[in-house]
Amino acid sequence: GDYPWLVEIPMGMVDANETPEMAARREATEEAACAIEELQSIGKFYSSPGGTSEFINLFVGRTTAPADGSIFGLQHENEDIRVHVMDAAKAIGLIYAGRIRDSQTLVALQWFAMHHTELRSRWLVSDVGTPII
């Protein structure tokens, strides 16, 4: 009875000989064709201390998004990922509409709700295109 598709941020495992920052850039490219121009740490935390050893490194990145509705992902990983491009108000509104059902995206969007104005101000100063934030 649960809708099978999630709205979530790009995420994945850190490969051997890779830093969390490198993994964030790689996953953004693989899953959404986003080349990260600037990367900033949001935080680091355990997803469920005592229940799992999974440790999350969460980032925000400045990028130019692909066309809304584009499909990406790696075929050998059976990924079928549709990109959703939206403005800040709509993205933050997903929290209140109950559309976010994974903890990493929820934390990222809550952080974004508190910091998107500052990001926009800082990123527009040195902008060569239009940042998608």
Q: Determine which helix (DSSP H) or strand (DSSP E) holds 45, and give its type and residue range.
A: strand 38-46
Out of 18, 38, 54, 77, pick the active-site residue: 77
What integer pLDDT is reported at residue 117 of this predicted model? 93
DSSP 8-class letter at 98:
T
What integer pLDDT is reported at residue 123 of this predicted model? 86
What integer pLDDT is reported at residue 70 of this predicted model? 85
Instruction: Give every residue of the chain whose pLDDT is below 50, as ranges.
Output: 131-133
| pLDDT tens string 109-126 | 999 999 999 998 888 865
Distance (Å) of CA 49 to CA 44, 55, 123, 125: 13, 9, 35, 40
Mark whether 77 is an active-site residue: yes
Please tell me the distance from the alpha carbon of residue 70 to that of residue 66, in angstroms, as a whole number: 7
The owner of tokens 């509409």 is 97
Please tell me the distance from the alpha carbon of residue 6 to that of residue 130, in angstroms, as a whole number: 27
What integer pLDDT is reported at residue 78 of this predicted model? 80
